[in-house]
Structure 1
Amino acid sequence: MKQTIIYTKNNCPQCKATKRWLNEHNIDYQEINTTNDQNAINHLKRIGVERLPFVVTDKGNLTGFQPAVLEKLV
C-alpha cells in the first residue's frame, strides 16, 4: 500500500484539521510543508493543485479538509 502524503503550509487551519483527523484515525502519513519548499510548490502547480491541504492516497486524492472523503480514501 502506498503511503498517504499530505501537502501543507504554515498557518493553515484546514491543514491542521486534516492532520488532526489523520492522527485521530491512526493513519500514517508523510507531511510535505510547502511554505519554504519551492520544488513542492512547483510540483503542485504542474499537476493543477490550487489549494491546500492536498492529500494523496493509493485510492485517490483530495484538497481541503473533507472528513467524509478522507474516510473513503484511507
Structure 2
Amino acid sequence: MSQQRVVVYTSDHCTHCKKVLSKLTEWEIDYKEKNITQDKSYFKELQKQKVYGTPATFIDDDKVLGYQERSLKRALGIQDAGRFQNADTIHFS
C-alpha cells in the first residue's frame, strides 16, 4: 500500500488542532504540520485552497476541516469500530 501524503494546517492555541495531531500520532500516521501563526506563507497556501480556518487536514486529495474523527479515519482508510460495525453487539428481534 502506498504512503498517503498528510498535511495538517494548525495555529497556536487551537485545541482542535491539538486533537487532530494527537489522533494522527495515536494512529501512527506520518504527517507534516504547517502552523499558520508561525509562518504566514502557510496561511497563504491555505487560502489558495479556499480554507480560512484551522485545523485543516489534507490527505492526498481529501480535505477534512476541523476535528472530525470519522472523516479522518475514512480518508486515511482506518476501519472504524463504531457502534454499528461490530456485529457481535447488534441484535435483531
Larger Rg computed on CA atoms: 2
Q: Which letter does structure 2 place at the counterpart of 1:43?
A: E
SS at match of 1:55: strand
List per-residue Cα deviations over 1:33-68 (Å, max 9, x = no partner). 111211111121222102111101125011100000
TM (norm. structure 1) is 0.91
CA distance in 2, matches of 1:68, 1:2: 17
Any gaps of 5 or more consecutive residues in structure 2? Answer: 77-93
Give the structure 2 partner of residue 6 of structure 1.
8
Any gaps of 5 or more consecutive residues in structure 1? Answer: none
SS at match of 1:45: helix
Aligned length: 74
Greater RCO, CA 8 A, separation 6+: 1
What RMSD over aligned residues (CA atoms) do the two structures have, in Å? 1.2
Runs of 4+ in 1 over 3 A off after TM superposition: none
List per-residue Cα deviations over 1:5-59 (Å, max 9, x = no partner). 1010111000000001101111110111111211111121222102111101125
**Alignment map for 1:11-30 (pairs within 5 Å):** 11-30=13-32
Greater strand percent: which structure? 1
Question: Among the aligned pairs, what percent are the same residue?
Answer: 28
